[in-house]
Structure 1
């Protein structure tokens, strides 16, 4: 399986690429080949007098390539110019990637995590499963927030077709995932004991039984309230390493627009997020 790994060649991304546990988790997911891509500004001209931007970029990219190759991955590198999310997704389509990986750093002084511009735009337009990897700053250094990427998974579902497609990711995650919490959020109008809530509990339990049969310790939980708030509350209680959910498009146009819940979760969660887009946009 093949992944596109987007890098801005920063210390933050190098911390993620250099984390052996993260790379081992990608291997358990099935990734054995990585296309490492960096997107430079279209306004920078290679070969300009007094400019060594191209060579410095190549040196940094080769350093990250060597890290990945030492861990056993087959690696291709790409230096491209243009709009980052378009070039990243374009490469993913061209090589038929199984996964796209982007890093995201929290920038809010209120300690609310805000997804970076490039990561947000990739998430809004990707037609491939996307892993948004959290990177945090500690004492002027960087490290990944959860290096055991898929060890504890919070799966949020509204029982839509795209949520079912996201659940299919457990086919790849089952060797990497030890625990899972399955969450469905019922709107406030649906009261406990109603047929709709009972049906949701039964459907969640059926999914949990599926995971238990695979050796994953799974729990099922129906919550009531605003979907984003309840999923984030479940995250705080369960402390997952990754949140898994579908990114459902609102628009019939070619470009995929994230639904408000998936966008809010991707922006505000402290865990990694694995987003799965609808089949119809591929």
Structure 2
């Protein structure tokens, strides 16, 4: 049994599946659902980099809505879920939150890229698995 499990989420089906696995496959007292708002990625996906407070406030509102979706999903599994929002590089923030939230285990979804796609794009899940001070379960896509 784990006292606290960290589940990083990004709105993808992969992260929803990770929450489902954490809630159904592991015994835990609490799941911490974490969304990392990466201001550098958010700005680079717009037509022009917009570094103003209105833009970031909107991204934060979207992130809060996303976290509420995951909290509702956790309630469906009858598991205590706490939501948290962090800012920064996703892999670095996830690993940093392991100590901050005193978690025993991380369950993270993966898109399941392989070969050159993984090499070129990197993998948050892989980086978390290599750098995490606690055990990590990587949930791959269903085939």
The TM-score normalised by the length of structure 1 is: 0.41
1:197 is paired with a residue whose SS is: helix
Q: How does 1:262-273 map to 2 (within 5 A)?
A: 262-273=125-136
**RMSD, aligned α-carbons:** 2.6
1:172 maps to 2:35: no
Superposed CA deviations along residues 148-186 of structure 1, whole A, max 9, x for unmatched, are: 3x3311000111221122122145236x12111111111
- Whether contact under 8 Å (2:3, 2:29) holds in the other structure is yes
Return the match for 1:185 from 36, 41, 54.
36
Which residue of the partner structure matches residue 68 of structure 2? 205
- Higher RCO (C-alpha under 8 Å, 6+ residues apart): 2
Determine the C-alpha separation between the residues in 2 that align with 1:198 and 1:275. Answer: 28
Structure 1 portions without partners, runs of 5+: 1-147
Determine the C-alpha separation between the residues in 1 that align with 2:139 and 2:9. Answer: 12
The TM-score normalised by the length of structure 2 is: 0.75
1:231 maps to 2:94: yes
**Higher relative helix content:** 2
Determine the C-alpha separation between the residues in 2 that align with 1:198 and 1:163. Answer: 19
Structure showing greater Rg: 1
| CA distance 1:278–1:268, change in 2 (3 Å) | same
- Give the C-alpha shift of residue 238 in structure 1: 1.0
